[in-house]
A and B are shown apart, each in its own frame.
Chain A
Amino acid sequence: MKIQKRTIALCIYFGFLFLPIYWMLNMSLRTNADILGNFALFPVDLTFHNYINIFTDHTWYLAYIHAIRYVSYNTILSLLFALPAAYAFSRYKFLGDGQMFFWFLTNRMAPPAVFLLPYLQLYGTLNLIDTHIAVALAHCLFNVPLAIWILEGFMSGIPKEIDETAFIDGYSFPRFFITIFIPLIRAGVGVTAFFCFMFSWVELLFARTLTITEAKPITAHMTRTISATGLDWGLLAAAGVLTIVPGALVIWFVRNYMAKGFALGRV
């Protein structure tokens, strides 16, 4: 009886979780006139009109590709820079290590709004405005610290004796790191990549500010549509649904590591 009550409560919660998403899906499968004219719990005249619109309009689908591009750059950059740093934090005591770790963390907690104007100036001076790399670099502000934090957790779980044995066997540090150590923490690398992907994908403020047309992501493109075309709800909903898809795919791949990643990685 007790277990049943729990299951029912859980089902109610998941109902609450999925209803808003379902509602957007419902809207995306109807025309704007239909949305404003009739209230319906499910699409009566099913139409893929909105999706066809997005996939045939290059400003829309390019915006989608832009987002995927800078998110990938950011994930790769974050991992490349965070891996050695996380190794240092997990294995060595060095001058100012605690302070350094804290300083990294403060950047994960820094309000993005604070950095908005300086970024425009900084990237403007470097002629990087409206490039994918600008957004990728800006997102490193919070993703590198996050990656260090998660990876350090995973690396601390690997006994130090492995390093020692490898060094005695004559491995150089880079060779040991790439051929032995990274394969050992590949689950951690996967989880880290997931979180970098996720936080770069969901961020809007930097992505919108640092891009004009050439690297404008789909999320920023959506906000422009809201103000410009007098709210085409169907189109907006379809774009929204499409932004959920990459995230959902990535979750599916890392689902088995996720709970572990949250615990070990201390995200």
Chain B
Amino acid sequence: MEKWQNNKAWFLVLPAFIIVAFSAIIPLMTVVNYSIQDIFGPGESVFVGTEWFEEMLSNYRLHDALWRQFMFSGLVLLIEIPLGIMIALAMPKRGWGVSACLVSLALPLVIPWNVIGTIWIIFTRPDIGLFGVGINSLGLLGDTFDHTARPLYAWITVLIMEVWHWTPLVALLCYAGLRAIPEAYYEAARIDGASSWATFRYIQLPKMRGVLTIAVLLRWMDSFLIYSEIFTLTGGGPGNTTTFLSIYLVKLATMQFDLGPAAAFSLIYFVIVLLFCFAFYQALLNVGKGEKV
């Protein structure tokens, strides 16, 4: 659609700009302010330049948290995207089953994030949880499944929780993408005698490219910002083994009150997120172009 050229459109965007800027730009300025000063108390501060940035960039805890974050987000994508596609493919295409599936899939998405953590504590605890008690009574593990004790179990629990929570989003997106494919494509495939794999590979997958890009973008970004669920479930432990970026940042800022380093960390974090955001945004724009041709 050809758009009208008119700079007066700015007046329509302005209110939204102001309300978001109020919540985004002013606080960000405060963060910048913190990050270049050493603050002792109200009104007492010393300009320290890039000291906090240098300190944070060489901080091994930050490196560890960053590595964990990449591992976590990568694993999340590897599991959720294929699983989501499979669910979308298996969903019924008409009848009462569609509504039932959609409503059930959306359910985990509207549960408050700390309640997600609570659900999984209750579900996996070795004394009262169905999963915890069940897996321990099978006795396959050799030791007790307890996500507060062993890092491996903490990771497994956190990953299952994340998959449980967000795979429905991927499935819903893929389902929407699948529904947009005209019936004629399938008829053509049937006439050619295409196998279901070929139908998937050459019709469904290419047609889902747009929604899949969005799914990857959303899942990557959101898993990068994860806080409440994991904080409730493991608190970042045992040790620091599930301390991801946000959890580390909140610890630094609100529990140790290291404002300067926390602010420097915030800005580094923000830049990383911004870079990803830009890369994905470009990818999205290109997808749009590809479809129009």
Contact = CB atoms under 8 A, between A and B. Distances in A.
Interface stretch (A48-56, A182-190, A198-206): A198-206
B106 to A, nearest CB: 5
A240 B259 CA distance: 34
Given A84-B16, A233-B128, A116 B250 contact: yes
Nearest to A254: B106
Given A6-B90, A81-B19, A93-B3, A251 B232 contact: no
A24 B119 contact: yes
B90 A94 contact: no
B16 A82 contact: yes
A89 B89 CA distance: 34
Interface in A1-33: 2, 6-7, 9-10, 13-14, 16-21, 23-24, 27
B122 A27 contact: yes
Interface in A24-45: 24, 27, 35-36, 39, 41
Nearest to B272: A111
Contact of B9 (A27, A91, A109, A259): A91
Given A10-B91, A77-B19, A84-B16, A202 B104 contact: no
Interface string A131-145: 000000110110011
A255 B227 CA distance: 28
B23 A138 contact: yes
A17 B119 contact: no
B12 A87 contact: yes
A76 to B, nearest CB: 12
B164 interface: yes
Nearest to A97: B9
B27 interface: yes
Contacts, number: 280
Given A105-B281, A251-B103, A112 B128 contact: no
A6 B200 CA distance: 15
A102 B114 contact: no
B262 interface: yes
B273 A19 contact: no
Interface size on A, as a range, is: 35 or more
Contact of A92 (B3, B89, B130, B259): B3
13 contacts: A19-B130, A27-B122, A35-B128, A93-B4, A109-B274, A113-B266, A118-B30, A137-B19, A202-B113, A205-B227, A246-B110, A247-B109, A262-B175
Interface of B: 1-10, 12-13, 15-17, 19-20, 22-24, 26-28, 30-31, 34, 86-87, 89-91, 99, 101-115, 118-120, 122-123, 127-131, 133, 164, 168, 172-173, 175-177, 179-180, 196, 211, 214, 218, 221, 224-225, 227-228, 232, 245-246, 249-250, 253-254, 259, 262-263, 266-267, 269-270, 273-274, 276-278, 281
Interface of A: 2, 6-7, 9-10, 13-14, 16-21, 23-24, 27, 35-36, 39, 41, 77, 81-82, 84-85, 87-89, 91-95, 97, 100, 102, 104-107, 109-119, 121-122, 137-138, 140-141, 144-145, 148, 156, 159-160, 198, 201-205, 219, 222-223, 226, 233, 236-237, 240, 243-244, 246-248, 250-252, 255-256, 258-260, 262-263, 266-267
